[in-house]
Amino acid sequence: MSSEKQVKICVSCSHENPAYAQRCENCKSIVLNAVTVVPEDKGTYANSLFVNGVPAVLIIVFLFFAVRYYINRSEYDPTIRIKDIDELEYVLKSEQKPVLVYFYYKSYDRSPKYMLPALDRLNYYIGTRIPIYRYRFQKDDDLLISKYGKADGTFVVFNKGQPVKSMSTSSFFKIKDPSNAGQIFLFIRDELNLRELNRFEETELEYLNSETFYKKVIEAPNPVVVNFTRSSCPAANRFRGFYKAMANSYDIYADFYYVDTSKEKEIAGLFSAWATPTVIIYNNGNVVGRYNSAYSDQYTNDSRLFGYLFTLLVDDIML
């Protein structure tokens, strides 16, 4: 830190002279005023860096988390979080209807990143039919963890305070995919008392060509599901049985068709459906969802399809 010093200031040219000067070193004037100069303390380099750098770092950190929150936020209002085991017991005892609770861990469980958006989506549409909650395990929840704890999260349906059935998130997509919402919906479908639909006539599983595709898909007034397949593809042939089963289960929700990509190359190229099997869902002539390849069990295939159809059909599947 600099200390104060004595100087003499020239009245004529304001030059700063040493304390012992008799004349001004600049203009040789003898009119000098003795003054005490206290230099400004600018501090050390580290102190300057701290004072000037910390606010900038804080602003950058704030912007980072704000952008991260904006990107990761759900487009729907979040489900209600149960804070502790006492509140959980109160909710399970007070609810008169079945309840869905999503259990997950705080630290090493990665499932909330892709499950919470799907859960919020379901809660937005059917939260009035079946209350949906989320519970993050606490340090003293050993008993709950032993019952419902899975390393990747668990869904549990309770009825009158008792667990009815559960499902681990290990079979879900590890990304924010509409199929996750579809799979949760299929898991709780039996608890919703859905009405029967008579909106669509039963659809024949026929092959479409360039002449019939436009009329039955693009001009269709209801959702349409098209399986792009070819007979030379082993995976497409295996998926064909699953696709027929899906059509039998959901033909009241949408019309189901095939397209042979080896014959209808123009249609396959128009929708980039060369990889088979590829399932594309249309609504009012527009593509609203698509997924490639098939899984080896009916439940997973159903959940993928229903995940994309869910928001289109939610008004019709509710009572």
Q: How far is CA 316 from CA 60, 130, 275, 309, in A?
A: 47, 17, 32, 11
**Which of 141, 162, 191 corresponds to the end of one domain?**
191
Task: Indicate whether 301 pLDDT > 90.
Answer: no
Give me the pLDDT at residue 291, please: 84
Q: Write the pLDDT tens digit of every residue in 210-232.
A: 888 988 998 888 889 999 998 88
The reply to whether the predicted model has a pTM over 0.85 is no
Look at 108 and 223; give whichever has higher pLDDT: 223
Helix (H) or strand (E) holding 245: helix 234-250
In a shared domain, residues 99 and 132: yes
Q: 105: left (phi > 0), else alpha (psi -120 to 50), else beta?
A: beta
**Which of 156, 191, 226 corresponds to the end of one domain?**
191
Q: Examine residue 137 and state whether it is found in any structural domain, yes or no.
A: yes
The domain in which residue 18 lies consists of 5-37
Residue 158 to residue 148: CA distance in whole angstroms: 12
Q: Examine residue 63 and state whether it is found in any structural domain, yes or no.
A: no
Task: Indicate whether 68 pLDDT > 70.
Answer: no
For residue 199, name the pLDDT band (cuts at 50, 70, 90). Answer: very low
In a shared domain, residues 154 and 214: no
Query: Token pair of 5, please?
Result: 């010093």
For residue 105, name the pLDDT band (cuts at 50, 70, 90). Answer: confident
Give me the pLDDT at residue 257, please: 92
Q: Examine residue 69 and state whether it is found in any structural domain, yes or no.
A: no
Q: Examine residue 47 and state whether it is found in any structural domain, yes or no.
A: no
In a shared domain, residues 153 and 85: yes
Give me the pLDDT at residue 228, please: 93
In a shared domain, residues 216 and 179: no
Q: Write the pLDDT tens digit of every residue in 125-149.
A: 888 888 999 998 887 788 888 888 7
Q: Which of 67-76, 78-87, 169-178 is the least confident region?
A: 67-76
Look at 89 and 107; give whichever has higher pLDDT: 89
Q: Examine residue 18 and state whether it is found in any structural domain, yes or no.
A: yes
Q: Examine residue 104 and state whether it is found in any structural domain, yes or no.
A: yes
Listed in sequence order, the residues at least 6 apart from 231 whose beta carbon sits closer than 8 Å to its beta carbon are 237, 260, 262
Q: Examine residue 201 and state whether it is found in any structural domain, yes or no.
A: no
Look at 107 and 281; give whichever has higher pLDDT: 281
In a shared domain, residues 154 and 216: no
In a shared domain, residues 225 and 267: yes
Residue 183 to residue 189: CA distance in whole angstroms: 10
In a shared domain, residues 187 and 224: no
Q: 114: left (phi > 0), else alpha (psi -120 to 50), else beta?
A: alpha
In a shared domain, residues 219 and 176: no
Percent of the chain with pLDDT over 70: 83
Task: Indicate whether 97 pLDDT > 60.
Answer: yes
For residue 200, name the pLDDT band (cuts at 50, 70, 90). Answer: very low
Q: Write the pLDDT tens digit of every residue in 142-178.
A: 888 888 877 778 999 999 888 999 988 887 877 777 7
Task: Indicate whether 45 pLDDT > 60.
Answer: no
In a shared domain, residues 217 and 164: no
Give me the pLDDT at residue 132, please: 93
In a shared domain, residues 177 and 132: yes
Give me the pLDDT at residue 142, please: 82
**Which of 191, 220, 242 corresponds to the end of one domain?**
191
CATH number at residue 155: 3.40.30.10
Q: Write the pLDDT tens digit of every residue in 231-283.
A: 888 888 888 888 888 888 888 788 899 999 988 989 999 998 888 999 998 98
In a shared domain, residues 91 and 187: yes
Give me the pLDDT at residue 30, please: 77
Give me the pLDDT at residue 203, please: 44
Give me the pLDDT at residue 156, please: 93
> What's the chain's average pLDDT?
80
In a shared domain, residues 184 and 92: yes
Residues paired with residue 282 on neighbouring β-strands, in sequence order: 224, 287
* Domain count across the chain: 3
Give me the pLDDT at residue 155, please: 93
Do residues 307 and 281 touch, judged by C-beta distance below 8 A? Answer: no
Q: Examine residue 44 and state whether it is found in any structural domain, yes or no.
A: no
